[in-house]
Amino acid sequence: MYTRSLPWISSARSPDQRSRNLAASIKKDPAHLGISVILSTYNQPEWLERALWAYAGQRGAAPFEVLVADDGSAPDTAARINSLRPQLPFVLRHLWQPDQGFRKCLALNRAIAQARGDYLIFSDGDCLPRSDLVATHLALRAPGRFLSGGYIKLPMSTSLALTREQIERGRHGDYDWLLAHGLKPGRKADRLRANRWRARLMDAISPARASWNGHNASAWRQDLLAVNGFDQRMQYGGEDRELGERLVRLGIAGKRVRHRAIVVHLDQPRGYVEAEMIDANRAIRRAAAKAAARWTDHGLSPSAHHRHRPV
């Protein structure tokens, strides 16, 4: 279906065996298991450019690639990516598909299939990663787990104030600067002020469920293949959570890192939200929960599930 072959899982036949294999690989060579960052986008070249500059400023991270999973943007997005590519310190790949309505899950599945990394970090093209985001996901990854990161939503005035110059100076992770430019103080904003010890403590005691959050989550590629990726029937609203629920049923538990792995979310309108989409998504999630489904027949490889379904 896609250009990269899908070797669903190696000879490992269970989540426990796959986890043991991963643990051995990490111990043997922790720095060279490749990392892919997958960013979804649709007709937001200005915000996407800001996100790419923020990824260019990542500190302490092993080399990584960025894949833009584009759900049918107009040509100006491709033009912007092509102009930025020579200026960025990472491999940037643009995976575009025709605009045929909301098909974000298909775009993300295409990116999973073509990612070169063993470990995948997911976010959106309107989210700016704090300068330690990639390094934090890398440091906290563990076999048999996915990571559930956090976000801070910015008002439009603050979003517009974050120019390339300000991003390169790290202002998108600077609590005082953001407050001075329109961010309102609050519990989520306080995450930016937490030191490493406090952030770890807050993640440990938080009552929030470690759900899969499309704006900031990560997992081993082989675990995503084991559940057949995103369910491509899903429209806007809960499509990310549904994937996480199947991972948990497979035995891949979520881990809260919302106070340690942080993105700031640029403001945007959401004109594509419709009640019918939300209702249809809820019905899919209810049916999957009732069946205790780990695998979706509407994912990465719809035609191969009988042959490749993991045991």
Total of domains in the chain: 1
> What pLDDT score was predicted for residue 310?
34
Q: Is residue 20 part of a domain?
A: no
Residue 60 is part of a domain; what is its CATH number?
A: 3.90.550.10
Q: Is residue 310 part of a domain?
A: no
Q: Compute the distance between CA of residue 228 and CA of residue 206 in angstroms, rounded to an integer.
A: 30
> What pLDDT score was predicted for residue 146?
98
> What pLDDT score was predicted for residue 200?
95
> At 60, which amino acid appears?
G
Q: Compute the distance between CA of residue 225 and CA of residue 70 in angstroms, rounded to an integer.
A: 20
What residues form DSSP beta bridges with 8? none
Half-sphere exposure of 11 (CA within 13 A, CB side): 1
Q: Is residue 11 part of a domain?
A: no
Q: Is residue 114 part of a domain?
A: yes
Helix axes 75-84, 45-56, angle to 10 degrees: 20
What is the DSSP annotation of 9-66? Answer: S-S--SHHHHHHHHHHHHHH-TT-S-EEEEEEESS-HHHHHHHHHHHHT--SPPPEEE
Task: Tell me the residue range of the domain where 259 lies.
Answer: 34-301
Q: Is residue 21 part of a domain?
A: no
> What pLDDT score was predicted for residue 2?
37
Q: Is residue 173 part of a domain?
A: yes
| One pLDDT digit (tens) per residue for the chain, 311 residues | 334 433 323 333 455 665 556 555 545 554 455 999 999 999 999 999 999 999 999 999 899 999 999 999 999 999 999 999 999 999 999 999 999 999 999 999 999 999 999 999 999 999 999 999 999 999 999 999 999 999 999 999 999 999 999 999 999 999 999 999 999 998 889 999 989 999 999 999 998 899 999 999 999 999 999 999 999 998 887 778 999 999 999 999 999 999 999 999 999 876 566 778 888 888 888 888 888 889 999 999 864 443 333 32
pTM of the model: 0.87
Q: Is residue 16 part of a domain?
A: no
Q: Is residue 27 part of a domain?
A: no
